[in-house]
Amino acid sequence: MLVRDLQQMIGTERDVAWGNGQSRRFLLGNDGMGYSLTDTVIDAGSESLLQYNNHLETCYCIEGEGEVESMDGTIYPIKPGTMYALDKHDQHYLRAKTTMRLVCVFAPALKGDEAHDLNREDGSSY
């Protein structure tokens, strides 16, 4: 059984600055679960062009407000209780109006220190 506490992970190697916030990584590849689970903080006022080439991601908002925009221009409001899934390695914009917290699942699992290169034109990462 694996048991981890968020407060004990802050400031460790599982607390990764991903580009416009922090990703607290509860589960990684070496935990043997086949997926990752993160508590991700997105900085208020930030905009990130993102794309996961090697992972599928599902996010569930537990705090804050923002939006996700698909590349066809469709904008989806994000608030507590909203889930979105990037089921086709979708390139997208993530915008945080306020500081947001998302619980995220990645498949396959993250290795550990992956972070976004927000300077890349295509937003690709991981």
* Pair 59, 40: CB distance under 8 Å: yes
pLDDT tens-digit readout, 34-80? 999 999 999 999 999 999 888 999 999 999 999 999 999 999 999 99
Q: Structure tokens of 17?
A: 């600055």
Write down the pLDDT at residue 94. Answer: 97
What are the start-end ranges of the E strands in 15-97?
15-17, 21-27, 36-42, 47-52, 56-63, 66-70, 75-78, 83-86, 92-96
**pLDDT-based confidence at residue 23 (cuts at 50, 70, 90):** very high
* Residue ranges covered by each domain of the chain: 6-110
Into which CATH architecture does domain 6-110 fall?
Sandwich (2.60)
What pTM was estimated for this model as a whole? 0.89
Q: Which residues pair with 89 in a beta bridge?
A: none
**Measuring CA to CA, which residue among 16, 5, 10, 9 is closest to residue 106?**
16
pLDDT tens-digit readout, 95-112? 999 999 999 999 999 987
**pLDDT-based confidence at residue 119 (cuts at 50, 70, 90):** low
